[in-house]
Structure 1
């Protein structure tokens, strides 16, 4: 445990100071990563003409194994395990449960016939030299600043080339001291929203320095992006429960809507000319729909919105503040206490967005419950050829009813084929039973039981019972 706490402290300190961290893998995983880098470089140089990008997603069938770099499935599992461990460490640093973000992730192991939300990207970039100079001009090739959309990103490459902006606004080369088989960790916007900005997203950019490029003239990289499920909800409520102060802008939002908003921001950037400077603050001048429909103090939806005399609308704690001060906080106008009018249009819009978020949250919970039930069915062998699963009633028995324990792999052998009486009904199809023969109490699920047939019960009553007499 002391070693883990030291590693946790080193990770959190590096993220706080540098917005990035280097993760050291086990010798086995490090060797696998180096092998994957070498094989990916060979794959791109021999089959892709020295340049290319390949995206791998677990659970998605490969049409042609020969057309993909080798070891992708193994590397996906290796880097995915490291990403989940880093996410747990970040949660511990924020005084949260280590599994607080697990509801955002895919089930592990991934259910059959389901593609992963996270992706693994293999890239190879080759620099062509013309007359001793880089073809694109200058000693470095740099792309514009990027920010990861997902939870976090892990990068491994055979040559340095990633610059990160630290918390003081200085750009530095983050992977210059990385050893082969190590991973560079940067955090994303989804994690920033889920932590209410306590773990901000890292800004990074990729550069290619011709003095640091290997002798093969290219740079091979493996990038793992830990992405949340599209039907999950980014909610910073656990952050508030841990005692942290949450800004009003970090309200609950579905992952799909969050990603759509990020794509809209990217479209704004793309529509501007490359030579035009656009301040970062200007990108957020247009507030999001949830910001407009939420109370700026409490973050709650404006289902009690009121129109004041100056024309502005408020609700929740902000409305209370306006009434107490008799002054609009937006235009500084004097407010007449008796002039409040319900803003039904704003209330209806806020209620509609709130119901949509609730539906997504309910759908996410229902989906996970079905996956768990399907996994239990597979373990117990309850498979039917019609639909693959036996979706019977979870409570087919009543209290005081006699049953026979047919058992499954989880049932102790001493209870199999024993008759019992149901004494109480528990959650999720479980029952508390009393064994008739021994008087023992046992808790079993409905799939382990079957009703006593009439013929079986009558045969049992016809069996002569021993008579005890005293001489």
Structure 2
């Protein structure tokens, strides 16, 4: 186990639980300040600290003492869920029901505060959680890990059969709250630096961390916390706020609030999301700002071109600017961030007068764009050559001889690899028929459109001729339409042949 790192240069935000519960009137400014501090700490440090009120703090201290007495110094862990009936002979530490209730209330308040800072309703995620209070004969999807061990957090993963104890932990739920009687939780910040997160915390403080489900429903606006336990003897309570099994995790609230979401964030059943996350937790990723590679279809690994392009228009970031928070934008996304006066990734305020060019990103984007332009020019020349050869073959075709093999031979001899690797079969201004696929909106399928912009990796921005609406589609979803003059010429040739 690595030695304990130094404390972070900037301490975690310490927020009272009462201050992140929505209030009216005179308490509104304090609530807004607490929500902002909590969210900023999660974005910059990957964690935050919640201070419990006296009554809840007494319950948590009682539960920690009960944990030490229950395990009697033996390293072990126990997973508690509200509503689950104990099996014959099974014992549970005391105060677990009260601790589960207190920590669940704190986790829901933290989730509401995060939603509020994203300009959403404070109850926008409630439909994804268990009913409160929990109905009779129903078991909660959230869980409370009660542990006494020097590697208690990793023991949780061992109970779930997912990860070896020496690996860092990435939780699958919305938020995670950790209470312990001894410091020993290290957190990895967005820059990849590990630090001791609970060095100044006591049994009355809760360490707040974020999980994969929250990152998915916020379209990546809230990064995932990665943490691990140091080699210490300590009793701990780890509460994970999880979605119920029948929930559908989607980003519709984020989209309705005006945020931009990437196509990788597709709606997914919570049960599938949990299964896929558990299957992949043995893979440790150091790039947690981006979604991890999954077996499902709701996440993917970003390509170089996606990083160097504007997610709205697909244009390369040749005008990239750096914001105060460190994120870089260009094109339509930069314009949107300036109009909103907030970063679309971390939601921090943006001052348009303090932006400066990201020269390195501009240079890389320019080089990649030049390479794509060169490939596009070559493909356009090849298409023109194909058209000329085909037109010259019209006369033999009308006389009954076949020159198809000759045409293909000429084209293959000229550039066989280019013919097979063409990803830009259409040019700007060409008319196409939208064939569509399962992801294409129904209102565009079967419509005639015109190519208005070439994007990356074979994607085009097309505009429907009847409605004037635009959408982004890949070349496989499009079919070229002949111009009226060409169509009339072909019809004339058919008439002459008949």
TM superposition score normalised by structure 2: 0.53
Structure 1 position 184 matched with structure 2 position 308: no
- Residue 145 in 1 paired to residue 168 in 2? yes
Describe the SS at the equivalent of 1:230. Answer: coil
Q: How does 1:37-436 map to 2 (within 5 A)?
A: 37-45=64-72, 50-63=74-87, 67-126=91-150, 143-208=166-231, 213=232, 218-266=233-281, 269=283, 288-289=296-297, 316=440, 324=451, 329-330=456-457, 337-338=480-481
1-side partners of 2:287 and 2:104: how far apart? 35
Q: Distance in 1 between matches of 2:185 and 2:38?
A: 18
| CA pair 290-183 structure 1, distance change in 2 beyond 3 A | closer
Retained in 1: the 8 A contact 2:174–2:213? yes
- Measured in 2, the distance between the counterparts of 1:161 and 1:4 equals 30
Q: 1:291 to 1:119 in 2, by over 3 A?
A: closer
Once residues 240 and 180 of structure 1 are traced to their aligned partners in structure 2, the CA distance between those partners, rounded to angstroms, is: 39
Q: What's the counterpart of residue 391 of structure 2?
A: none
TM-score calculated relative to the size of structure 1: 0.56
Shift of 1:283: 9.7
- Provide closer, same or farther for how the CA distance between residues 228 and 323 of structure 1 changes in structure 2, counting only shifts above 3 A: same
Following superposition, the deviation at residue 288 of structure 1 comes to: 3.7
User: Could you tell me which residue of structure 1 aligns to residue 56 of structure 2?
Assistant: 29
| Pair 1:285–1:53, CA change in 2 (3 A) | closer
Aligned to 1:451: none
For residues 117 and 156 of structure 1, do their structure 2 counterparts lie closer, same or farther at Cα, with a shift above 3 Å needed? same
Aligned residues between the structures:
296
Please give the secondary structure, in 1, of the residue aligned with 2:57.
helix
Post-superposition shift, 1:289?
3.6
> Which runs of 5 or more residues in structure 2 are unaligned?
1-26, 152-163, 301-305, 313-422, 427-434, 460-474, 483-498
Provide the secondary structure at the position in 2 that maps to 1:184: strand
Indicate if the aligned counterparts of 1:309 and 1:336 stay in contact, CA closer than 8 A.
Answer: no
Rounded Cα–Cα distance in structure 1 between residues aligned with 2:448 and 2:39: 38
Instruction: Give the Cα separation in 2 of the matches to 1:279 and 1:13.
Output: 19
Higher mean alpha-carbon deviation, 330-339 vs 187-196, is at 330-339
Judged with a 3 Å threshold, the aligned counterparts in structure 2 of structure 1 residues 328 and 106 are, in CA distance, closer, same or farther, namely closer
Go from structure 1 to structure 2 and tell me whether the alpha carbon gap of 1:325 and 1:169 turns closer, same or farther (over 3 Å shift).
Answer: same
Instruction: State the 1:143 CA deviation.
Output: 2.7
1:243-293 per-residue CA deviation (whole Å, 9 max, x = no partner) reads 1111111121110111122133236x39xxxxxx9988999667744679x
Give the RMSD, CA atoms, in angstroms.
3.8
Answer whether contact 2:183 2:199 (CA < 8 A) is retained.
Answer: yes
Q: Distance in 2 between matches of 1:287 and 1:325?
A: 35
